[in-house]
Amino acid sequence: MKTANGKNDALISSRDALAMLGVKPQTLYAYVSRGLIRVAPSSADGARMYFRRDVEAVTAKGRSTRAATSAAERSLSWGGATVMHTAITFVGPGGPVYRGQPALDLARAGRTFEECAELLWNGALPKEVPMWSAPAVPQAFTSYARVICDVAPNNTSRHLLALVANAYIATVERDGPGEPGRHEREARQLIQVLASAFGLLRPKPRLVPPAAPDSIATLVAKSSGITASSPVIAALNACLVITADHELTPSTFVARIAASAGADSMSCITSALASFEGQQNGLGCDECEQALLGAGSRKAYLATIARSLAERRPVAGYNHFVYPNGDPRGEYLLEIASALAGNRADTAWMVAWIATAREQLGVRPTVVAGLVAVCAALGMPRRSAGALMALSRTAGWLAHSAEQRLSGVSVRPRARYIGVSAPER
């Protein structure tokens, strides 16, 4: 949302922040250093900008020592107290920024998922597009693969990815703990195996790990049973790049907790996969897809959304709480979906329905709706959107688990006991 002077009202200037807080600049800087107020990237004129929501939260809590303690005890939700520092990703109105590189700019520039992953892991974009060596898949994995294929129709795509990850970890020979580059090397291999797991979503499930080097986008396309043409690869890379990380999401927090407890990178990824079921990620993708495919008509679809809004229930695929003015990732992916769908009657309707919901009901499509639309336009199997987001997020989970491990800090929040009093002795 824009103010009358055209500025984004999610951000405010230093002067406005000081006026709202009623404090001196030194106190404002203290709030920033303590993580209570986040600083946005500098504006065009170089001035520092602050998140209005953070300033309002501090104002509501007061500025005394008691308020600082209260802020530390707030639930760990968006807009609450910052719980840890990171040099990996910043989330602002324009979407995630990876190591100083806006994710949407990377996608528009045609960067690959591999380049994005290396940026998150190592802090810099590689000079050349990396080609990861094919994973060594042991024969024992084949036995697991047959069982996973049998249960594939009865599981969500995230459960299937978790099953594949655990099967691979259980059967592959691991590098020694002190091996240089071990974490990245193991992650590259696991991600390639997970890309082959998209075959489990096909009408006749299949799981054939890659035997030769190939890009992740190409592996996803081939596993899904669609042609790996240049437009398809470009669209898949765009989806993978802009969803690779989103700061401290619940699943990322889980990965960091596991890392702080001493878990290795592979265990951190499987831990995060197990919690990737929220409205704004895996589960939301499934629900958004089901709502579109099950409505039967545009009128019925709009009525379902309107009913949810009237009952104050969340609507999968719309109104991301992190982006009150609209999710730029969702808008970008819908542009891609629209271009891919063209005049195809079997998928163009989906993009049109989402656009109508935005225009008539005022809802704002998120990255979830965008992923669902792109996967449909590409002709991928159902449940692919949630799998694509989970696959991409493995890059972010690995980066965060490595950062947490290097910090040497144990993630162990304290709890304030509010149960019955202990019996007297």
User: Which is more confidently placed, 308 or 136?
Assistant: 308
Going by pLDDT thresholds of 50, 70 and 90, the confidence category of residue 345 is confident
Q: Which pLDDT tens digit goes with each residue over 194-227?
A: 999 999 999 999 999 888 889 999 999 999 999 9
Phi, psi for 11 (deg, rounded to 5): -115, 145
User: Which is more confidently placed, 259 or 421?
Assistant: 259
- From CA 353, how far away is CA 319, in angstroms rounded? 16
Could you tell me if 386 and 157 are in contact, meaning their C-beta atoms sit under 8 angstroms apart? yes
User: Which is more confidently placed, 182 or 270?
Assistant: 270
- From CA 369, how far away is CA 333, in angstroms rounded? 8
Other CB atoms within 10 A of residue 22 CB: 9
Going by pLDDT thresholds of 50, 70 and 90, the confidence category of residue 27 is confident
Fill in the DSSP letter of residue 51: E
Going by pLDDT thresholds of 50, 70 and 90, the confidence category of residue 180 is low
Mean pLDDT for the stretch of residues 155-184 = 81
- pLDDT over 90 (residue 61): no
Tokens of 368: 């979830």
Mean pLDDT for the stretch of residues 223-232 = 96
- pLDDT score at 22: 87
Q: Which pLDDT tens digit goes with each residue over 129-140?
A: 999 988 888 889
Phi, psi for 424 (deg, rounded to 5): -70, 145
Lowest-confidence pick of 42-46, 291-295, 371-375: 42-46
Mean pLDDT for the stretch of residues 117-124 = 94
pTM here is 0.80
Could you tell me if 93 and 7 are in contact, meaning their C-beta atoms sit under 8 angstroms apart? no
Fill in the DSSP letter of residue 322: T
SS3 141: helix
- pLDDT over 70 (residue 390): yes
- From CA 353, how far away is CA 180, in angstroms rounded? 50
Q: What percent of the chain has pLDDT over 70?
A: 87
- Which H helix or E strand runs over 97? strand 95-98
Mean pLDDT for the stretch of residues 121-125 = 92
The C-alpha angle 55, 59, 63, rounded to 5 degrees, equals 115
Tokens of 390: 């989970």
Lowest-confidence pick of 20-29, 63-72, 199-208, 415-424: 63-72
Going by pLDDT thresholds of 50, 70 and 90, the confidence category of residue 72 is very low
- pLDDT over 70 (residue 385): yes
- pLDDT score at 79: 47
SS3 102: strand
Question: Rounded mean pLDDT of the chain?
Answer: 86
- pLDDT over 50 (residue 4): no
Tokens of 36: 């209570």
- pLDDT over 60 (residue 351): yes
- pLDDT score at 43: 55
Going by pLDDT thresholds of 50, 70 and 90, the confidence category of residue 328 is very high
249: exposed, middle or buried (Cβ count in 10 Å: 0-12, 13-18, 19+): buried
Tokens of 307: 């009913």
Going by pLDDT thresholds of 50, 70 and 90, the confidence category of residue 412 is confident
Q: What percent of the chain has pLDDT over 90?
A: 60
Residue located via tokens 């704002």: 364
Residue located via tokens 């398809």: 232
- pLDDT score at 356: 96
Q: Which pLDDT tens digit goes with each residue over 310-327?
A: 998 999 999 998 999 999
- From CA 383, how far away is CA 215, in angstroms rounded? 21
User: Which is more confidently placed, 424 or 85?
Assistant: 85
